[in-house]
Structure 1
Amino acid sequence: MNAPKKIGILGGTFDPPHLGHLKLATHFAKLFNLDELLLIPSGEPWQKATHITRAETRLQLTEAAAIDLARAFLYLKISTQIGVDRLEVDRAGPSYAIDTIKALRDRYGPTASLIWLMGADSFMSVPSWNSWRDLLNHVHFAVASRPKCALETEMRPEIDALLAKHQTLETDAIEISPSGHIYLDKSLAVDLSSTELRNRLRTPSGNSLGPEQIPSHALEIITNLGLYK
């Protein structure tokens, strides 16, 4: 019998995509030996400020960042297939993770392992997500640590309860089951923020930002279009 597919899902505003996104994607693609990795820019990110970059432009930036990610995978000999999915961009109304997850579950079937990749700051905000108690019925969470987000000291009671019920220390548990587990990874510490990068790009020093912060192909588009000025 064929082993169930392992699909990584990295959603976000991607305004702009940055090296932290790529590092997180690379780390988990290798850790879980993902078959596919989907980058899914949000259409209408309901928890973000209203002055975000238009969805089609953020999709373009994400597609550009995916070129750099594919090159990194090739160099590191990671066989994961990368896709940029316009699922949320094309869907009318607010972009809720639960709707995206259910659509991907329908696409990949009941046995595929769906793994939602996120940083610790996003994980801490999960109780504010729409229908958040239903999420782990359809997907796993793989959470990367953030230097400025201490899970142990900032944990909300809802997160504590989620971990008590769903946390696993074994990658195999996620790879062989379709949903229901939370894996915390403290070996990767990503300290980049799209908000901070946007603010820097709006200042005179923004011209000093390079590919160590923003993927080179996305940075070229930002420069050519004069974004975040």
Structure 2
Amino acid sequence: MNNSKAPIGILGGTFDPVHHGHLRLAMELASELRLAQVRLIPNGRPPHREQPGATPGQRAKWIRVATAEEPLLALDDRELLRDGASYTVDTLATLHADFPDNPLCLIMGRDVFAKLPSWHEWRRLFDYAHIVLIERPGLSATLAPEAAAELSARSASDIADLHNSASGIIYSYAPPPLAISASRIRDLIANGHSPRYLLPATILDDIMDSKIYHSPNGEDY
């Protein structure tokens, strides 16, 4: 890492598959928020959504390949190695133990934050990390009352606050638009269309070789 005391970004998701939307967002945040690193953490068994189509090994491999030449980004496979459901509060606890000198910045979209009170022991998230709230044009979500109260109480507008306090701040960030989604990539492949240029070519080649997202009715493009 280029700064041993700077905050570490935590970007979780199924990464089914990882694509340029994930990677570019991570790079934007690393640069704009002066983060030491952004760690991409593929979910093991996400409790709030359907299970990934790709195997844990495939998803980890794709992130490793995609980040191999960028020191600001890294695969963190701790959730894949842990048994049981992947609760974010447990992940943050282990990250805090591994990086006690670095504030942690948990990155999530407003749509995810809106449902935060449904998460396991969600209030403890603020004991371990800041939240970087991604705001996207045209995407709005009605916040649960408890989430709205936390946003009001914890919002900060100065990047320095992320560096100078250990946890508990909510910082909102609006990245440049880049409309790419994993579900769109999977749909294109299943219907015999090309998703090229939406994700790294080496990862697309691996997906096509394994036929992981192919539909029985689809055709190779």
TM-score (structure 1 length as normaliser): 0.85
Q: How far apart, in 2, do the equivalents of 1:90 and 1:131 lie?
A: 21
Q: 2:219: which partner in 1?
A: none
Structure 1 position 170, deviation (Å): 0.9
- Is the alpha carbon distance of 1:210 and 1:161 closer, same or farther for their aligned partners in structure 2, counting shifts above 3 Å? same
Alpha-carbon separation, structure 1, partners of 2:13 and 2:51: 15
Q: Which residue of 2 aligns with 1:99?
A: 90
How far off its partner does 1:124 sit? 2.3
Q: CA separation in 2, counterparts of 1:200 and 1:148?
A: 24
Q: Kindly tell me: are residues 84 and 165 of structure 1, through their superposed partners in 2, closer, same or farther at Cα, counting changes over 3 Å?
A: same
Alignment-mate amino acid for residue 200 of structure 1 = L
Decide which moves more: 48-57 or 138-147.
Answer: 48-57
Q: Which residue of 2 aligns with 1:74?
A: none
Paired AA for residue 47 in structure 1: H
- Find 1:192's aligned residue among 180, 190, 197: 180
Alignment of 1:53-202 (within 5 A): 53-67=54-68, 70=70, 81-109=72-100, 111-151=101-141, 154-202=142-190
Q: 1:218 aligns with which of 174, 195, 203?
A: 203
**Taking structure 2 as the reference length, what is the TM-score of the superposition?**
0.88
CA distance in structure 2 between the aligned counterparts of 1:40 and 1:163, rounded to whole angstroms: 24
Secondary structure in 2 aligned to 1:136? helix
Q: Distance in 2 between matches of 1:187 and 1:16?
A: 21
Q: Contact between 1:118 and 1:142, CA under 8 Å: does it hold in 2?
A: yes
Aligned residues of 2:27 and 2:72 also touching (Cα < 8 A): no
Unpaired segments of 5 or more residues in structure 2?
Answer: 215-221
Q: Give the drift of 1:66.
A: 1.6
Structure 1 residue aligned with 2:217: none
**2:12–2:41 contact (8 Å) kept in structure 1:** yes
Closer, same or farther: CA 51–184 of 1 in aligned 2, 3 Å: closer
Write the distance in 2 (CA, Å) between the matches of 1:198 and 1:61.
15
Q: SS of 1:38's equivalent?
A: strand
Q: CA deviation at 1:51?
A: 5.6
Q: Tell me the SS of whatever aligns to 2:176.
A: strand
Q: For residues 132 and 25 of structure 1, do their structure 2 counterparts lie closer, same or farther at Cα, with a shift above 3 Å needed? A: same
Question: Do the aligned residues in 1 keep the contact of 2:7 with 2:35 (CA within 8 Å)?
Answer: yes
Tell me, in whole angstroms, the C-alpha distance in 2 between the residues paired with 1:215 and 1:118: 23
Task: State the distance in 2 between where 1:224 and 1:52 align.
Answer: 15
**Alignment partner, residue 7 of structure 1:** 8
Summarize the alignment of residues 24-39 of structure 1 with structure 2, pairs less than 5 Å apart.
24-39=25-40
Tell me the CA shift for residue 199 of structure 1.
1.8
- Alignment partner of 1:4: what SS? coil
> Which residue of the partner structure matches residue 73 of structure 1?
none
| Residues paired across the two proteins, number | 212
Higher helix share: 1
String of CA shifts for 1:167-220, please: whole Å, max 9, x gaps: 111111012111111111124334322223212221122xx2112x11222212
- Counterpart contact for 1:9–1:37, Cα < 8 Å: yes
What is the root-mean-square deviation of aligned Cα atoms in Å?
Answer: 1.9
- Structure 1 unaligned residues grouped into runs of 5+: 71-79
Whether the 8 Å contact between 1:40 and 1:86 is mirrored in structure 2 is yes
